Amino acid sequence: MAFINLKKKEVQAKIVYYGPGRGGKTTNLEFIYKKYKSRIPTDMVAIKTHGDRTLFFDFLPFDIGTIKGYSVRMQLYTVPGQVKYNATRKLVLRGVDGIVFVADSMQLRREKNVLSLKNARENLAAYKKDLTKIPLVMQYNKRDLGEQGIPLLSVETLQQDLNADLNVPFFEASALEGKNVVETLKKIISLTMASLSKDLT
Amino acid sequence: MDADRPSSNKEVDDQLEYLFAETQSADAGLDPESQPGPLRDLKAIFLAVDWEINDDIMNALLRQIDALKNTFSGDRIMMLFLQLLEAVGKYVKGKKAHAHPDAIKLLNSIYTSLEIVSLSKGMTDAERKKILRIEVNRFQRLKDKLARKKAVEKAAALPKKDAPGESPPEEIPPALRYVLQEVRKVIREEFAAFKAEFKS
């Protein structure tokens, strides 16, 4: 749930990067952290397992600037993608205001994408939230791997698998190269601000 | 889009465009698209390393480093960067998924620095050396970590002198087992000293 201080004209909202393990959620945040370091008041908090995977979550507070007269800060989170950490994923989704679903474009990750999206629906339902109502952006990540001959899912297939009923904005991206990372972020901030706008009047 | 879902607001979008563009222009000089051929190939291999570490990918990395050594043979700082990459690359190749997680980070970090040094026009030798020194220090820290880890594992693998009934259960990790052994040893020594003092 966003924190809105009408008196101080401040807004704090929570955006969660969700998706299957090794899909590039943390890489998105790392790119944002490197690119906009000056607007990030603290270090990126990343808690890792031994194998450099996200165990708990990554957390990045990000000062956006003034929108509609309000000083806006977004709290960006990632969740651990591996199946065994569902309790943490559920916890991180508490109070979420917007979601970026980072799908892995590799062919062999097709089922994992679908399962992860299903898992997001279930975990949101536990907080009486509906994936079809919450601000959501799809990011089809690792598109760059196609150039190295790694078989990728077509955007049509990804759309059919993940976005057919949701019909939300989507981006083809390469988090490692930073392609469409900022565009994804801008879109989810925009949608989140639009959903909060009724509280900002 | 779902009718219930909020849609973007043009005013907010314009504002975001302005807010993000302001910072983006500051580091436009490091556009990865502007990379010359040799580094482009190396970057492609790094993308593959991010996905999977196997012999083919690591061999390709080491081959590319070799090729770059010819390209940059007249540039001592670039050669030192490449030597660092080679050393960490060989370690990762040997250990693969069991490599220390910092080694993969270091590999990426050395590559990023190499890219900056190679692509930033007008950078002085002093600035290039400063960046190199940061990576050398990171490399040294990793070496120290690996040496410490090896020492702990070696100590834990030493034959136990305890009676069979005293040995800790198998599921205790080697490092913790070593600490337990040390604690027991100290208690035993303290107790022996106390007994000797009590007798005298």
Q: Convert the pLDDT of each residue in B27-72 to its tens digit.
A: 433 444 444 456 777 877 776 665 567 787 788 889 889 989 988 8
Judge: A132–B2 Cβ closer than 8 Å, yes or no: yes
- Minimal C-alpha gap between A88 and chain B (Å): 22
Whether the predicted pLDDT of A180 surpasses 90: yes
Residue B25: pLDDT band with limits 50, 70, 90: very low
DSSP SS3 for A133: coil
Judge: A148–B97 Cβ closer than 8 Å, yes or no: no
Judge: A132–B4 Cβ closer than 8 Å, yes or no: yes
A177 and B CB contact within 8 Å: yes
A176 and B CB contact within 8 Å: yes
Work out the number of other CB atoms within 10 angstroms of the CB of residue A4. Answer: 15
In this structure, are strands A170-172 and A136-141 parallel, antiparallel, or unpaired? Answer: parallel
DSSP letter at A42? Answer: S
- Minimal C-alpha gap between A20 and chain B (Å): 14
Judge: B27–A35 Cβ closer than 8 Å, yes or no: yes
Q: Report, as an integer, the average pLDDT of B179-191.
A: 69
Q: Report, as an integer, the average pLDDT of A8-29.
A: 88
Mean pLDDT over each residue of chain B, to the nearest integer? 75
Contacts of B50 in chain A (CB under 8 A): 176
pLDDT of residue A45: 57
CA distance B167 to B182: 13
* Closest to A33 measured CA to CA, from A131, A196, A178: A178
CATH code (residue A123):
3.40.50.300
Residue A64: pLDDT band with limits 50, 70, 90: confident
pLDDT of residue B22: 53
Judge: A133–B2 Cβ closer than 8 Å, yes or no: yes
- Minimal C-alpha gap between A51 and chain B (Å): 6
Yes or no: say if A92 and A8 are a contact pair by the CB < 8 Å rule.
Answer: no
Chains A, B: CB pairs < 8 Å:
88
State the residue for tokens 């990632």.
A78
Q: Report, as an integer, the average pLDDT of B2-31.
A: 61
Q: What percent of chain A stands above pLDDT 70?
A: 85
CB-CB: which of A50, A68, A145 is closest to B47? A145
DSSP SS3 for A151: coil
Boundaries of domain holding A107: 3-199
pLDDT of residue A152: 94
DSSP H stretches of helix in chain B = 10-24, 37-51, 55-71, 76-95, 101-119, 125-157, 174-199
The dihedral region occupied by B100, where left means phi > 0, alpha psi between -120 and 50, and beta the remainder, is beta
Q: Report, as an integer, the average pLDDT of B133-159.
A: 87
CB-CB: which of A64, A191, A195 is closest to B19? A64
Contacts of B13 in chain A (CB under 8 A): 186, 190
pLDDT of residue B100: 85
pLDDT of residue B199: 62
The dihedral region occupied by A111, where left means phi > 0, alpha psi between -120 and 50, and beta the remainder, is alpha
* Reported ipTM: 0.70
Judge: A67–B15 Cβ closer than 8 Å, yes or no: yes
Work out the number of other CB atoms within 10 angstroms of the CB of residue B9. Answer: 17
Question: End-to-end alpha-carbon separation of chain A, Å?
Answer: 17
Q: Report, as an integer, the average pLDDT of B121-142.
A: 87
Mean pLDDT over each residue of chain A, to the nearest integer? 84
Contacts of A66 in chain B (CB under 8 A): 15
B9: closest chain A residue by CA: A194
A107 and B CB contact within 8 Å: no
Whether the predicted pLDDT of A143 surpasses 90: yes
Whether the predicted pLDDT of B200 surpasses 50: yes
Domain count, chain A: 1
Judge: A148–B47 Cβ closer than 8 Å, yes or no: yes
DSSP SS3 for A177: coil
User: A43-57, A183-197, B111-125, B185-199 — which one is most confidently predicted on average?
Assistant: A183-197
Residue B187 half-sphere exposure toward CB, CA atoms < 13 A: 6
Yes or no: say if A125 and A158 are a contact pair by the CB < 8 Å rule.
Answer: no
Whether the predicted pLDDT of B166 surpasses 70: no
Of A156 and A74, which is predicted with more confidence?
A156
A55 and B CB contact within 8 Å: no
